[in-house]
Amino acid sequence: MSDAEPGGLRGAIVEEELRLTLVELCRACDAREEEVTAWVLEGVLDPEGDEPRGWRFGGPSLRRARRAARLSRDLGIDAAAVALVLDLMDEIDRLKARR
- Residue (of 94, 67, 92) closest to 82 by Cα position: 67
Scanning 17-78, the segments in alpha helix (DSSP H) are 22-29, 33-41, 59-75
Q: What is the tens place of the pLDDT at every residue in 28-51?
A: 999 999 999 999 999 999 999 999
Q: How confident is the model at residue 22 (pLDDT cuts 50, 70, 90)?
A: very high
Given a contact cutoff of 8 angstroms between Cβ atoms, the answer to whether 62 and 20 are in contact is yes
pLDDT at 3: 43
All structural domains of the chain? 6-98 (1.10.1660.10)
pTM for the predicted model, two decimal places? 0.79
Across 12-17, average pLDDT: 58
Q: How many Cα atoms within 13 Å fall on the side-chain side of residue 91? A: 6
